[in-house]
């Protein structure tokens, strides 16, 4: 991670984001954060009250980035199918998993309403965003009127989140791609 030129708090936040992604909250120690950030113990506890404080700040930043990245592919012209397809096919670090979704499997995150909140909010936002696009597709006659936008949106997000699981289990990105293609083949408007 390139942290030169960053302020000490930023170096700590970036190190925490990396470690949360790589090892999760329970698998991440303050010492590891300090070492990755190249920052001493005293500095960390000067700028943050402790591990939960730093984690919350890091999670919020990651959540903001994820939203912006999703909006970049969703907020485009094109048919509903094209926009959903663009979301599903966007570049991802598949074997690392989702930096937000992975946190749902962390017991200490789930046990804390404060730490879970930005995770919940991000995924809820994404589901709503996709549901709106599906609804547009239905309204325009692009999708069958029987489709329930909120359900299709949940399927899309779940396919991505589950795709990470399949990929990490097998150690290959193939399973992720297969799941996405499967869903797209079901969603594809009749040619």
Partner DNA sequence: GTCTATAGTTGGATAGAC
Partner DNA sequence: GTCTATCCAACTATAGAC
Regarding 53 and contact with a second copy (CB under 8 A), the answer is no
41 vs 172, which CB is nearer to DNA? Answer: 41
Residue 132, exposed/middle/buried by CB under 10 A (0-12, 13-18, 19+)?
Answer: middle
Regarding 107 and contact with DNA (CB under 7 A), the answer is no
Q: What CA–CA distance (Å, rounded) separates 49 from 45?
A: 6
Regarding 178 and contact with a second copy (CB under 8 A), the answer is yes
Regarding 181 and contact with DNA (CB under 7 A), the answer is no
Helix (H) or strand (E) holding 73: helix 51-74
DSSP for 127-158, written as a single string: HHHHHHHHHHHHHTTSS-TT--HHHHHHHHHH
If you search the block for the tokens 């980035």, which residue do you land on? Answer: 65
- Mark the segment that binds DNA (CB under 7 A) among 50-58, 67-75, 159-167, 178-186: 50-58
Q: Exactly one of 6, 32, 74, 86 binds DNA (CB under 7 A); which one? A: 32
95 vs 105, which CB is nearer to DNA? Answer: 105
Contact between residue 25 and residue 109 where contact means Cβ atoms under 8 Å apart = yes
Regarding 152 and contact with a second copy (CB under 8 A), the answer is yes
Residues within the interface to a second copy (CB under 8 A): 22-24, 26-27, 97-98, 101-102, 104-108, 110, 116, 119-120, 123-124, 127, 146-148, 150-166, 168-171, 175-176, 178-183, 185-187
């Amino acid at each position: 991670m390139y942290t030169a030129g960053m302020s000490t708090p930023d170096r700590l936040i970036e190190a925490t984001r990396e470690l949360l992604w790589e090892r999760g909250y329970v698998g991440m120690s303050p010492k590891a954060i300090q070492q990755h950030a190249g920052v001493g113990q005293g500095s960390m506890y000067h700028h943050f009250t402790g591990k939960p404080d730093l984690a919350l700040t890091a999670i919020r930043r990651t959540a903001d980035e994820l939203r912006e990245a999703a909006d970049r592919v969703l907020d485009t012209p094109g048919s509903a199918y094209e926009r959903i397809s663009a979301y599903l096919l966007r570049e991802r670090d598949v074997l690392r998993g989702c930096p937000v979704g992975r946190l749902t499997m962390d017991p200490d995150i789930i046990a804390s309403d404060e730490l879970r909140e930005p995770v919940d909010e991000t995924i809820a936002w994404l589901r709503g965003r996709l549901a709106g696009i599906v609804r547009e597709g239905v309204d325009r006659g692009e999708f069958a009127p029987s489709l329930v936008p909120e359900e299709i949106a949940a399927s899309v997000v779940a396919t991505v989140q589950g795709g990470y699981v399949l990929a990490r289990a097998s150690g290959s990105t193939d399973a992720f791609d297969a799941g996405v293609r499967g869903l797209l083949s079901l969603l594809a408007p009749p040619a």
